[in-house]
Amino acid sequence: MSRNPPGFSSPDPVPVGQPLPHRKVIRGWLAPLVERRTLRAIALLVFDWLVFAALMAGTVLFMSVWAKLLCGLAAGFMIGRLFIIGHDACHQSFTPHRGLNRVLGRIAMLPSLTPYSLWEVGHNVVHHGYTNLKGVDFVWAPLTREEFAALSPARRALERIYRSGFGPALYYLVEMWWHRMFFPRKTYMGTRRAEFVWDGVFVTLSAALWIGGLVAIASATGQSAWLLLVMGFVVPFLFWNAMIGFVVYVHHTHTAVQWHDDKAAWARAAPFVSTTVHLTFPLRIGAMLHHIMEHTAHHVDMSIPLYQLKDVQRLLEDTLPGRIIVQPFSWRWYFDTARRCKLYDFGRRCWTDFQGRPTSPCAAAA
């Protein structure tokens, strides 16, 4: 059921074939729905942290290996939920208070060992500023056939793993967290700031306390330190990497989604709508992910809080029929997408396999 404010009137649908309204016009439609609520935001953060803490306690208190494993996997899922909250705070959309958002964002991102300031630059400025623009946006950016052929055999093998459908955890762990989040070289970030270093120190010390605490508890309770480290740290952290790697992959990889290597053509293609997928799930799984899969709404206006995304996404799909990619999720669709979306041909504007053969329709120029 819609929770639109009293007196709110939805704009008339824009018929297919008519030009897409300017982004500022669309944001004007959404302005009455962008309401940030401090108490609701803090309650969400506290709830998710309590559940995460309880699951971490389960990895210690349960004696069964299977129970520890289940708690570790569920804790990894909660890391993902907490990260989504931190992502919202990083966009200044979580509460109305900028300073509070920065504090809550760091608290929410702590279990994922994500330095807040590095994510803020890489995600807010680069990814949102230039979504699916080759050479700028680096998140799951596809290679061309020529670029792939120029790689070393080992690097080609790694790219095949990344694009196999089974590679999101490895991709995010290596390409995003290790290279761009954990004390990144200037090659990857382009600049150095004291804030980057201090946020890196903060998450490193947190990881050391996390690991040290598990070792100390193992010694005090007579449990295997290695078992507790695996179930209480390695499993949650790897699950989180798989979760976020999957999420960012399906947000912008689809046979109907284009990438661009020309900034002018990219701008004409209304990338805030055309490069983003709304992936739908049964059983309220989308709500369990804090509605981050209502991703078109988020790219149209980053100031929309996560607890408003569902209503805004519905409004956009009703008002802009035929423009938004809506994809029901299934594992069959996912692995078919992974099979088709290996490389990208920017001349023909289509996805290809590793041999350069088209696997999606060639798109018309914007």
Q: What would the pLDDT profile of 331-361 be if each residue is shown by its tens digit? A: 999 999 999 999 999 999 999 999 999 999 9
The closest alpha carbon to 138, from 112, 172, 186, 90, belongs to 172
The answer to whether residue 70 scores a pLDDT higher than 50 is: yes
Q: Which long-range contacts (CB under 8 A, 24 or more apart) does 17-25 make?
A: 20/270, 20/273, 20/320, 20/323, 23/270, 23/272, 23/300
Q: Is 80 exceeded by the pLDDT of residue 281? A: yes
CA distance 268 to 22: 11
Give, to the nearest 10 degrees, the angle between helix 235-252 and helix 65-90: 50
Q: What local confidence, expressed as pLDDT, does residue 1 receive?
A: 42
In a domain, residue 359? The reply is: no
In a domain, 1, yes or no: no
Tokens of 353: 């396999």
Check pLDDT > 60 for residue 157: yes
pLDDT of residue 9: 66
Q: Are 225 and 214 in contact (CB under 8 A)?
A: yes
Which residue segment(s) compose the domain that 308 sits in? Answer: 37-352
Mean pLDDT value of segment 203-226: 96
Residue 152 lies in a domain: yes
In a domain, 364, yes or no: no
Q: Specify the number of domains making up the chain.
A: 1
Question: What band does 6 get if pLDDT is binned at 50, 70 and 90?
Answer: low
What does the alpha-carbon distance between residue 177 and residue 170 come to, in Å, rounded to a whole number? 10
pLDDT at 193 over 70: yes
The answer to the question of residue 269 being in a domain is: yes
113-148: per-residue pLDDT in tens? 999 999 999 898 899 999 999 999 999 999 999 999
pLDDT confidence of residue 8: 63
- pTM beyond 0.85: the answer is yes
pLDDT number for residue 2: 46
Distance, CA of 279 to CA of 329 (rounded, Å)? 6
Tokens of 134: 């080759």
Distances (CA, A) of 187 to 165, 179, 192: 28, 9, 10
The residue ranges of DSSP E strands in the chain, in sequence order, are 277-280, 325-328, 343-345, 350-352
pLDDT averaged over the chain?
92
List residues bridging with 351 in a β-sheet.
344
Mean pLDDT to the nearest integer, 6-33: 81
> Does pLDDT of 365 surpass 70?
no
**4 lies in some domain:** no
Of 4-13, 66-75, 94-103, the poorest mean pLDDT is in 4-13
Smallest CA-to-CA distance from 72 within 229, 273, 283, 270 is with 229
> Which of 16-20, 185-189, 298-302 bottoms out in mean pLDDT, i.e. has the lowest?
185-189
**Cβ neighbours of residue 98 closer than 8 Å, sequence gap 6 or more:** 92
Rounded mean pLDDT of 260-264? 93
**Mean pLDDT, to the nearest integer, of 312-319?**
92
The DSSP letter of residue 131 is T
